[in-house]
Amino acid sequence: MTEQVRYILVTGATSGIGEATVELLLEKYDDVVVLGVGRSQEKLDALRASHGERFAPIQADLSEAGSGAAVAQAANAVTQGVLHGLVNGAGIISSGSIEDTSDEHLNHMLQVNLIAPFALTRELLPALRAAQSQDDLARVVNISSVSGLRPYANLSSYCISKAALDQMTRCMAIELAPEKICVNAINPGVVVSALHRRGGMSEEQYADFLERGAKTHPIGRVGNVEEIARLIDYLLSRDVAWMTGETISIDGGRHLTSAR
C-alpha cells in the first residue's frame, strides 16, 4: 500500500451490494483500506482471511439502537479518526399490507433502513471532516431503492423507509456542502442478491419474482450487484467532486414506468 491510505467504511459488507463493493474496492485499488460492517462474524472472518490487513471487520447489528456510535468507535480505532468514504449499504425488506404492518415491524424497518444510516453518518462526521484536503472531499453514499421513488402495493414500510432515506440524503447534502462533504444516494431496481429471500421469499417465489422483474424493467432484465458496486465506486472517486444531493437511478428504466 502507498503511504496515503484512503479509508472507506461499508455497512452490509457480508452480502449482496455491500460485499460486491468491498471486493471491487480492494481489487481495484492498492491504497484503500475497507472497514466492513456486518452481522456475520464468520463471513467477516472469511473476508479478512482473503484480504488481510486491507479489510478491517466490524461486527455489528444495525437493528440495535445505539449501534451507530459503537460502529463509529470501532472505526475510529482503526483509522485514527479519519474516514474518506462511507457507504450505508445495509438494509432489509419485507412485504405486507398497511393493515398487516404492526408498529413493531415499521419501527424495525425504519431502524435498519433509515435511523442506522442517519446515526452512523452523524457519529462519523468528525472523521469525514478530518479526511478533507484542499483538492479532495469526503463522500457518503446511501443505498436506497426504486421503491424510494415509486410506491408499490403491499410494500409500504419499505417504500417509506427508502423515500425517507432519499430525503435524508438531500438534507445532509445541503447542510454538509459548506464542509466539503458530498452525500448522494443510489436507487437500484431489482438486483439479484439475498435481500428478498432474507425478507421471507422462498426459492420458488424468488425465481418467479426475478422472472416477473425481467418484464417490469424496460431494459428487459434485472440487475446484478457488480453493476451497483461500480456506481458506488464512481461516487466515491475523485472524479466526482461537484455532485451532491442526488438520487441516482440504476434500474433498467423501471422508475420511468407506471404500475402494471
The pLDDT of residue 155 is 94
The DSSP element (H or E) to which 116 belongs, if any, is helix 116-130
Distance CA 84, CA 30 (A): 15
Q: What is the pLDDT along the chain (260 residues), one digit of tens a residue?
A: 445 899 999 999 999 999 999 999 999 999 999 999 999 999 999 999 999 999 999 999 999 999 999 999 999 999 999 999 999 999 999 999 999 999 999 999 999 999 999 999 999 999 999 997 655 789 999 999 999 999 999 999 999 999 999 999 999 999 999 999 999 999 999 998 776 667 667 788 778 878 887 888 999 999 999 999 999 999 999 888 899 999 999 999 999 996 55
Distance CA 108, CA 110 (A): 5
Q: Which residue has the cell 472523521?
A: 127
pLDDT tens digits along 70-88: 999 999 999 999 999 999 9
CB atoms within 10 A of CB 69: 14
Catalytic residues: 158
Q: Are strands 85-88 and 138-143 parallel, antiparallel or unpaired?
A: parallel
The pLDDT of residue 259 is 59
pTM of the model: 0.94
The pLDDT of residue 203 is 80
Helix (H, G, I), strand (E, B) or coil at 101: coil
Walk me through the domains of the chain, giving residue ranges and CATH numbers: 6-252 (3.40.50.720)
The pLDDT of residue 2 is 40
Interhelix angle 16-28/41-51, nearest 10 degrees: 10
